């Protein structure tokens, strides 16, 4: 991982956070919440998020002191069951709590913060549509201009 680009390091660190601390928090909950799995099929026993990373606008101060800013999106699509709404809120809580305990993603970034949580119910309940949760993070890294 030493020769990886910063983008690869960020994605690896967020995957580790999701499958590590966030899953620990989900397992500790009083109800059964499917764990987060990366690269799997889901199949009801696990939630598989889509993770995307892009650069985002820097503040003037960030430009001057050469801090790179990224927007990271974690997107879950969950099938519609009676428990799915609760599951969405559980994922938002667990990821937020895990991130507040490690806002540097293990030292890979200077700071990662959740800037938005969006919970989307199905357009029509009982018609095959599912719930979605979209978490948006702002990630800053000092001196990584490549």
Domain that holds residue 107: 6-142
Specify the CATH number for the domain of residue 31.
3.30.980
Q: Say whether pLDDT at 144 is over 70.
A: no
- In the numeric block, the tokens 């938002």 are attached to 92
Domains held by the chain: number: 1
Q: Is residue 1 part of a domain?
A: no
DSSP 29-98: SSS--PEE-SSS--BTTEE--EEEEEE-PPPHHHHHTTEEEEEEEEEEEE---TTHHHHHHHHHHHHHHH
Query: pLDDT band at 42, cuts 50/70/90?
Result: low
pLDDT digits (tens, 9 = 90+) for 76-115: 999 888 899 999 999 999 999 999 999 999 999 999 999 9
CB of 88 closer than 8 Å to CB of 31: no
User: Quick check: is 64 in a domain?
Assistant: yes
pTM: 0.90
In a domain, residue 81? The reply is yes
Residue 117 has pLDDT above 90, yes or no: yes
Return the closest-CA partner of residue 142 out of 88, 80, 62: 62
- In this prediction, residue 125 carries a pLDDT of 66
Residue 22 is assigned to a structural domain of this protein: yes
Q: Is the pLDDT of residue 119 over 70?
A: yes
């Amino acid at each position: 991982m030493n020769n990886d680009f910063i983008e690869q390091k960020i994605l690896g660190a967020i995957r580790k956070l999701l499958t590590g601390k966030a899953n620990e928090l989900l397992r500790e909950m009083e109800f059964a919440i499917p764990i987060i799995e990366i690269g799997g099929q889901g199949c009801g026993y696990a939630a598989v998020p889509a993770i995307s990373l892009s650069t985002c606008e820097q503040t003037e101060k960030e430009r001057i002191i050469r801090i790179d800013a990224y927007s990271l999106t974690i997107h879950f699509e969950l099938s519609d069951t009676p428990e799915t709404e609760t599951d969405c809120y559980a994922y938002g809580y667990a990821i937020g709590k895990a991130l507040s305990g490690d806002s540097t993603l293990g030292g890979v970034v200077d700071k990662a913060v959740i800037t938005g949580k969006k919970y989307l119910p199905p357009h029509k309940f009982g018609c095959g549509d599912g719930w979605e949760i979209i978490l948006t993070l702002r990630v800053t890294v000092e001196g990584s201009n490549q």
